[in-house]
Chain A
Amino acid sequence: MKLREIWKLSSIVYKEISFQSIFSLRVGSSLPQRGRTDIKRLVANARTSTLISKLVTTFFIAIFGFTVFLPMTGFMTSSTPSATRDVASWPTLMGSVTAFLAVVLFLIVFMGLQVSTGFVSSKMSDVLGAFPLTKQDISSILFVSFLRMFDIPLIAAAVVFLSAYFLVGGSLLGGLILLMATVITEIFAVALTIGSAKFFYSRVAGGGGRSRGQTLVRLLFMIVWILPTFGAYLVVSFAGNIVQYLTSLTQSFSSILQFIVLIYPFSYSFLASYLTFPTAPDYTVLGSSIAASIAYVFVALFCYRWVTQTVRTIGGGGAIPRAKGIVKDTQIKPQIPWLGIIRKDLRVASRVPSFASLFLLPAMQTIILSISFSSLSSLTLIVTLSALIGISMITLLLPPTLLSMEGLASAFTRSLPMRKRTLISAKTLLSIVTYLISLVVLFFVAVYLKRDFTLILTYGLVHALAVSAGIMLELTLLARKFWKEGFAVGNIYSKLTTYILTLIPGFVMVALPIVTAFVAFLYAENLVLPIFFTMAASEFAVMTAIVAIQK
């Protein structure tokens, strides 16, 4: 089949996967409207949403692409002789290139994990299998469709990286090496995504099981699964530090550089740095880096072939095992409704990557804050309140996603006698637990760093009331909307306006006690805590009353 035909067919497959994943059609939602205009609008919404997702990743790559080269600008303006400058600047460039390639790898894997659910559930391989196409054609179409989900970030990575490189005085040969390194990194990223997706669906999603051991294994897999997310977040948050660290690593380990350059992405970063700032060559190191770079080309070719073959299995849902297990009994343990919802949500989250990663958001935020805490000599009221506003806002991203879980099989579950208040209570509890865990971690960090923890504990616990109120407000708004329209839109991100308009009132609610506390701090310091408590408790009381009357 010609590349042009593959491209044309992949366009249809790609659009279908985007549409299905955005509206969770395969997972049980039904569209509320059936008019032609409405469907057209929904298709357009799906496209916009996919585009936004791509642009966000591209934005991160672009920002990072230029940030990593910032340390290099110092050398550009330096008046030192070029030979001395070259010796000093190549480790910095090596650090920058390494960091960038690592970030591209992380971000694309992260994005890939988010879209893989839709790719697996769409079972497009089965659809294509009915047409007169060879297995090779189907593989190629699915591979190109999968790549199209990342097209803008993939192109942007190469363009931004090379532009930034040439801006800091890169050479033509160095540019070519970087282009090759970027392409290889992208192949690795796609292979890692496909590999993780296959592994996840065959070992984690496939292993139902109910023993404690199996649950623990699933939990561990879930943590491993979301590590790339965490990695991406850390890398982006600490871009400067990472470049600095990698630079010093390259310098301090000059004696073992010949071994370091054998490791990806150092092989390429060394080669590009050497070709940009040629110094007296250490032939062993140079030879090692060239040999390793060539070896990685072969590894990438192997990955490419493996991905094209594997993508068909995944696209056909073949990664999900169909083996029957030995079942001892058919006993079930019904819980009270809200606990049943929480248990279902946790089970779904442990098997659906896009939901799983969201649970980690507050934890990630906490770790970032913990790292920041270590550089502060004392945890003042201002520091504490700033930390709390950060954690609470991240926590408020969780409830809409938790509610959108109800879109799964909503065509069936909507027929269940579920009260709005039960649903809101369950999701509020689950969300506030993630906030409280963050608080506990911060408390232990404060204790470990021998900082005064009373403020973080007192204000954090009081603020939990306002955060609960914010969560309840978001959920009440969304539950009302979804009850009215049906949970057709399984994916909340497909309706960005709804998502944003829900987040804003929640943010206002958690910010209000903190802003009031700041104001009180300026005029009457001794009244800060009573005012803060009164505000948070009032919000909680009002929202609890509103939730209680939801039928």
Chain B
Amino acid sequence: MVGADRNVLRQLTTHVWFNQGRLGMEEVAVKVEGLAITYGTFVAVENLSFTVNNGEIYGLLGPNGAGKTSTIKVLVGVLTPHAGSVKIYDTPISNEVAAKSQVGYVPEEVILIDSLTPREFFEFISSIRRLEASVTNPRLERFVSAFELKQYFDTPIAALSMGNKQKVAIVAALLHDPKLLILDEPLVGLDARSSKILKELITFHAKKGGAVIFSTHIMEVAEKLCTKVAIINKGKIVGEGTVDDLRRLVKDAEGSLEDIFLKVTEQEAGMQDVIKALEEE
């Protein structure tokens, strides 16, 4: 990454809340206790509990349908849980407006208001979040420049590529300078440059005292980026801690996060047979 880009990132992550010294690194950003999510008779998440502190990049990992996105949707107030308690900076999620004000969210499937242009979409978002034009515009300009969105600023979102839509969603999530970032598969569709910028942004955000909850299927990214990971399988946490903690858990001192993941989620058994069968075909 070139020096100019790093400067932009530093400017973007010079948070108002950090400068004001409101956050301590030990402060609990997210506290989830006994979370249960059901869809009719289908239990997506069962008795899930975890805590994310400031300065942490918390990776939520798990196979497809494990309950990661459902959990994230509860954290951002899109979904109502069946049971359990969720607190964002000590504010119960039931206190929707106060809790949501502190969160920046990038959903898994980026579907925005297609008939609006990014400019109109950001205007809508900033109106709802009661942002000041004088503060928001310089910040927006830097994000738009970092993610190379300027040329698409007045093009309807419907006409943008998936990657550019993803960039719009990322900028919308960062616009209000949130203390907590919740990113559900944020790297999907991004080009190499934007992907690198986002990863750096996440790291800076945590270093400056913010918190990040990050869901991904790319184990290498999680291993490199996350300070702590939780592996969810069938709606339950089956492993939590740093990568070293997890290595100890599966008794594999050399194993990569991918190896650990496959072991913990019991997907390793029989996998070699499947690969062999496919090769023979």
- Smallest CB gap from B65: residue in A: A34
Provide the residues of chain A in CB contact with B190, threshold 8 Å: none
Whether B113 pairs with A324 at a CB distance below 8 angstroms is: no
| Chain B min CB distance to A177 (Å) | 43
Whether A415 pairs with B103 at a CB distance below 8 angstroms is: yes
- Smallest CB gap from A484: residue in B: B80
Whether A343 pairs with B116 at a CB distance below 8 angstroms is: no
Whether A344 pairs with B112 at a CB distance below 8 angstroms is: no
Provide the residues of chain B in CB contact with A336, threshold 8 Å: 127, 130
A208 at the interface (CB under 8 A from B): yes
A35 at the interface (CB under 8 A from B): yes
Interface string of A289-328 (1 = CB under 8 A from B): 0000000000000000000000000000100111111010
Whether A414 pairs with B78 at a CB distance below 8 angstroms is: yes
| Chain A min CB distance to B68 (Å) | 15
Contact status of A32 and B39, CB under 8 A, knowing A414-B78, A417-B128: yes
A419 at the interface (CB under 8 A from B): yes
- Residues of chain B from 16 to 61 with CB closer than 8 A to chain A in the complex: 39-42, 44
- Residues of chain A from 320 to 342 with CB closer than 8 A to chain B in the complex: 320-325, 327, 330-337, 339-341
A26 at the interface (CB under 8 A from B): yes
Compute how far the CA of A103 lies from the CA of B4 in the bound complex, rounded to whole angstroms: 64
- Smallest CB gap from B158: residue in A: A320
Question: Interface size on A (CB < 8 Å)?
Answer: 56
Whether A415 pairs with B78 at a CB distance below 8 angstroms is: yes
Provide the residues of chain A in CB contact with B120, threshold 8 Å: 208, 210, 344, 347
Whether A327 pairs with B153 at a CB distance below 8 angstroms is: yes
Provide the residues of chain B in CB contact with A190, threshold 8 Å: none
Whether A337 pairs with B128 at a CB distance below 8 angstroms is: yes
Whether A333 pairs with B158 at a CB distance below 8 angstroms is: no
Compute how far the CA of A333 lies from the CA of B140 in the bound complex, rounded to whole angstroms: 12
Whether B140 pairs with A340 at a CB distance below 8 angstroms is: no
Provide the residues of chain B in CB contact with A26, threshold 8 Å: 111
A486 at the interface (CB under 8 A from B): yes
Contact status of A334 and B132, CB under 8 A, knowing A32-B39, A210-B154, A551-B96: yes
Contact status of A320 and B159, CB under 8 A, knowing A347-B116, A409-B112: yes
Whether A332 pairs with B159 at a CB distance below 8 angstroms is: no
Which residue of A209, A343, A484 is within 8 Å of B154 (Cβ)? A209
- Smallest CB gap from B110: residue in A: A412
- Smallest CB gap from B98: residue in A: A417
Whether A34 pairs with B155 at a CB distance below 8 angstroms is: no
Compute how far the CA of A26 lies from the CA of B112 in the bound complex, rounded to whole angstroms: 10
Whether A340 pairs with B123 at a CB distance below 8 angstroms is: yes
| Chain B min CB distance to A469 (Å) | 25
B14 at the interface (CB under 8 A from A): no
Whether B154 pairs with A412 at a CB distance below 8 angstroms is: no
Whether A408 pairs with B113 at a CB distance below 8 angstroms is: yes
B241 at the interface (CB under 8 A from A): no
Which residue of B112, B130, B155 is within 8 Å of A208 (Cβ)? B155
Compute how far the CA of A333 lies from the CA of B159 in the bound complex, rounded to whole angstroms: 23
A262 at the interface (CB under 8 A from B): no
| Chain B min CB distance to A71 (Å) | 45
Compute how far the CA of A205 lies from the CA of B111 in the bound complex, rounded to whole angstroms: 17
| Chain B min CB distance to A456 (Å) | 36
Whether B156 pairs with A332 at a CB distance below 8 angstroms is: no
Whether B105 pairs with A415 at a CB distance below 8 angstroms is: yes
Provide the residues of chain A in CB contact with B258, threshold 8 Å: none
Whether B112 pairs with A332 at a CB distance below 8 angstroms is: no
A455 at the interface (CB under 8 A from B): no
Provide the residues of chain B in CB contact with A501, threshold 8 Å: none
A78 at the interface (CB under 8 A from B): no
A33 at the interface (CB under 8 A from B): yes
Whether B136 pairs with A332 at a CB distance below 8 angstroms is: yes
- Residues of chain A from 29 to 52 with CB closer than 8 A to chain B in the complex: 30, 32-35, 37-38
When A and B form their complex, what is the total count of cross-chain residue pairs whose Cβ atoms lie within 8 Å? 174
B115 at the interface (CB under 8 A from A): yes
Whether A334 pairs with B126 at a CB distance below 8 angstroms is: yes
B257 at the interface (CB under 8 A from A): no
Contact status of A27 and B114, CB under 8 A, knowing A33-B40, A35-B41: yes
Whether B78 pairs with A334 at a CB distance below 8 angstroms is: no
- Smallest CB gap from A411: residue in B: B107
A351 at the interface (CB under 8 A from B): yes
Provide the residues of chain B in CB contact with A322, threshold 8 Å: 155, 159
Compute how far the CA of A404 lies from the CA of B111 in the bound complex, rounded to whole angstroms: 16
Compute how far the CA of A199 lies from the CA of B183 in the bound complex, rounded to whole angstroms: 38
Compute how far the CA of A140 lies from the CA of B80 in the bound complex, rounded to whole angstroms: 44
| Chain B min CB distance to A125 (Å) | 15
| Chain A min CB distance to B8 (Å) | 14
- Residues of chain B from 70 to 84 with CB closer than 8 A to chain A in the complex: 76-80
| Chain B min CB distance to A188 (Å) | 28
Compute how far the CA of A417 lies from the CA of B102 in the bound complex, rounded to whole angstroms: 9
Compute how far the CA of A294 lies from the CA of B74 in the bound complex, rounded to whole angstroms: 64
Whether B127 pairs with A28 at a CB distance below 8 angstroms is: no
Whether A340 pairs with B78 at a CB distance below 8 angstroms is: no
B236 at the interface (CB under 8 A from A): no
| Chain B min CB distance to A127 (Å) | 15
Whether A206 pairs with B127 at a CB distance below 8 angstroms is: no
| Chain B min CB distance to A435 (Å) | 25
Q: List the one stretch of B144-152, B209-217, B259-267, B273-281 in contact with chain A.
A: B144-152
Compute how far the CA of A206 lies from the CA of B79 in the bound complex, rounded to whole angstroms: 33
Contact status of A417 and B137, CB under 8 A, knowing A34-B40, A34-B44, A209-B154: no
- Residues of chain A from 203 to 222 with CB closer than 8 A to chain B in the complex: 205-206, 208-210
| Chain B min CB distance to A126 (Å) | 12
A352 at the interface (CB under 8 A from B): yes
A121 at the interface (CB under 8 A from B): yes
Contact status of A324 and B155, CB under 8 A, knowing A330-B140, A417-B96: yes
| Chain A min CB distance to B20 (Å) | 20
- Residues of chain A from 410 to 431 with CB closer than 8 A to chain B in the complex: 410-419
Whether B127 pairs with A348 at a CB distance below 8 angstroms is: no
Whether B169 pairs with A205 at a CB distance below 8 angstroms is: no
Provide the residues of chain B in CB contact with A331, threshold 8 Å: 133, 137
Contact status of A332 and B97, CB under 8 A, knowing A26-B111, A486-B79: no
- Residues of chain B from 85 to 123 with CB closer than 8 A to chain A in the complex: 96-101, 103, 105, 107, 109-117, 119-120, 122-123
Compute how far the CA of A330 lies from the CA of B152 in the bound complex, rounded to whole angstroms: 10
Interface string of A382-408 (1 = CB under 8 A from B): 000000000000000000000000001
Contact status of A343 and B124, CB under 8 A, knowing A325-B154, A411-B78: yes
- Residues of chain A from 507 to 525 with CB closer than 8 A to chain B in the complex: none
Which residue of B80, B114, B140 is within 8 Å of A332 (Cβ)? B140
Scoring A321, A335, A416 by chain B CB atoms within 10 A of each residue's CB, the highest score goes to A416
| Chain A min CB distance to B160 (Å) | 8
| Chain A min CB distance to B86 (Å) | 13
Compute how far the CA of A210 lies from the CA of B122 in the bound complex, rounded to whole angstroms: 13
Contacts from A to B (Cβ < 8 Å): 26-28, 30, 32-35, 37-38, 121, 205-206, 208-210, 317, 320-325, 327, 330-337, 339-341, 343-344, 347-348, 351-352, 408-419, 484, 486, 551
Q: List 24 A-B contacts (CB under 8 A).
A: A28-B114, A121-B114, A121-B158, A205-B156, A208-B116, A210-B120, A320-B158, A320-B159, A324-B155, A325-B155, A327-B150, A331-B137, A332-B137, A334-B131, A334-B132, A336-B127, A341-B127, A341-B128, A348-B116, A411-B109, A412-B111, A416-B125, A416-B128, A417-B128
Q: What 7 pairs across the A-B complex have the smallest Cβ distances?
A: A340-B127, A35-B40, A208-B117, A34-B39, A28-B111, A334-B126, A417-B100
Additional A-B contacts beyond A205-B115, A332-B126, A411-B107 (20; CB < 8 A): A28-B113, A34-B39, A35-B40, A206-B156, A208-B155, A210-B120, A317-B158, A330-B119, A330-B150, A332-B123, A334-B123, A334-B133, A341-B124, A343-B123, A351-B115, A410-B78, A413-B113, A414-B76, A416-B100, A417-B128
